[in-house]
Amino acid sequence: MKYWVAIDIGASGGRHILGYMKDGKMCTEEIYRFSNGLKEKNGKLCWDIDEIFKHILKGLAKCKEIDKIPESVGIDTWGVDFVLLDKEGRMIGDAVGYRDNRTKGMDNEVYGIISEEELYRRTGIQKQIFNTIYQLMAIKKESPELPESAERLLMIPEYLNYLLTGKCMSEYTNATTTQLVNCETGEWDTDIIRKLGYPEKIFGKLNMPGSEVGMFTEEIREKVGFNSKVVLAATHDTASAVMAVPADKEGAVYISSGTWSLMGTEILKADNSAESRLMNFTNEGGYDRRFRYLKNIMGLWMIQSVRKEIAADKDFGEICEMAAKANISSIVDCNDIRFLAPKSMTEEIKLSCRESGQQVPEGIAEIANVIYNSLAESYIKCLKEIEERRGETYSGEIHVVGGGSKAEYLNKLLAEKSGHIVKAGPSEATAIGNITALMIADGVIPDLSSARKIIESSFEIKTYLP
């Protein structure tokens, strides 16, 4: 039996998922899981890269322990965040996270050099104040010595690959989240980089998912007990998740539902028009040079935060059931920046309802009801805007993949309110997409279209009727 390992790391945790083929179906097995989160360090919200990497090694050692040695390993994480390396390959500064407020006002700094309109026309990327382009401007303003002494910029999964192999390799899908990649050429936009005064040398050649990074270093081999190769997955987690959308036709509408809700469709040419910019769509890079034409919606981050604050003793399934029984009609704008990193999500939702003259929710059931209904409304609005931009009406299914596909109440709301069939699953879409890239690279699956058919027949997909 041949195995492949996806190391899928999100904002709240990571896991090692073994993948293999059996009787024509793709099978997965979780072998290790760990917690993750931002920590305050030197006045910033940072990722503990050392701790994350310790868990990566523990998970890999588990493969040896259960005698399931992978053919290759792929890592995916969230986008936009990065580290800088010096000439000796050592990390400079901290791995500051996207929820830190250091980018406040950095959009104005960037637009004083290159306009928002031109930036979108060149990159096709939606403005998010935490995009790498603004993070780099914050560093340039606060600590100019850091980029000046840097030799290489690596996105978080690329740096973790580097720690495993000793080799620096940049990957296309994650690079597009920087807002520094030209959507026409698929390469770094050196004109933007020069104008902003960022050192060109730190941006390495972009490689596509499926490219081999290298074998484990001798030190890593000794620590985990075996040797394997590291292969580039679609290292941006949403790019991996979209690979696992079990659609039977091109251009289906999907929602990658997790901490964020990413709703969109796949297109072959970026829509970097002024109209698309004003609607706040993004054209992120996908597998095989496709584009993920989507919107970032705040997502289950709101539920995760509220649960932590007032209902830590309840699981998400219980909260869903409670929300379904609550009687409240208030909704909030899930895309309002006020919900990005509030001191209290619960109080911020209450305040938003109070300010808009709506009933103020009390308790976990009503607050969850407001969040789920608000998300459903956001999805429906986004669907209409996709239809407007693509010039067609989507009469088919909406595919919900990722952990949020288990939110029964939200799926039912979406089906009822949109009038569309909602197909939910697979829930482990990101890891499955990661494994898919590894299997295609090894020739086990011929292409993405074939992989999606295999995924549809291999994993649980629930159907919700309007």
Predicted TM-score of the model (pTM):
0.92
Whether residues 347 and 456 share a domain: the answer is yes
Whether residues 324 and 436 share a domain: the answer is yes
Residues in the chain where the model's pLDDT stays below 50: none
The residue range of the domain holding 363 is: 236-465
- Rounded Cα distance between 271 and 41, Å, is 39
Whether residues 261 and 393 share a domain: the answer is yes
Predicted local confidence at residue 335, as pLDDT? 87
> Integer distance in angstroms from the first to the last C-alpha of the chain?
42
Predicted local confidence at residue 290, as pLDDT? 93
Q: 177, 207, 235: which is the final residue of a domain?
A: 235
Predicted local confidence at residue 162, as pLDDT? 98
Whether residues 226 and 240 share a domain: the answer is no
Whether residues 167 and 242 share a domain: the answer is no
CA nearest to 461, candidates 424, 408, 416, 410 = 424
Predicted local confidence at residue 395, as pLDDT? 73
Q: How many domains does the chain have?
A: 2
Whether residues 276 and 408 share a domain: the answer is yes
Whether residues 217 and 326 share a domain: the answer is no
Predicted local confidence at residue 457, as pLDDT? 96
Whether residues 257 and 204 share a domain: the answer is no
CA nearest to 263, candidates 47, 420, 448 = 420
Alpha helices by DSSP H, listed for 40-89, are 49-65
Q: Are 426 and 246 in contact (CB under 8 A)?
A: yes
What pLDDT, in 10s, does the model give residues 313-330? 999 999 999 999 999 999
Environment class of residue 456 by beta-carbon count within 10 Å: exposed (0-12), middle (13-18) or buried (19+)?
middle
Predicted local confidence at residue 422, as pLDDT? 96
Q: 179, 214, 235: which is the final residue of a domain?
A: 235
Predicted local confidence at residue 394, as pLDDT? 78
Whether residues 247 and 195 share a domain: the answer is no
Whether residues 128 and 265 share a domain: the answer is no
Which residues have a catalytic role annotated?
237
Whether residues 141 and 186 share a domain: the answer is yes
Whether residues 217 and 251 share a domain: the answer is no
Q: E-assigned strands of 182-314?
A: 206-207, 212-215, 229-231, 253-257, 261-267, 282-285, 291-297
- Rounded Cα distance between 311 and 215, Å, is 45
Q: Which CATH number fits the domain that encloses residue 251?
A: 3.30.420.40
Q: 235, 258, 290: which is the final residue of a domain?
A: 235
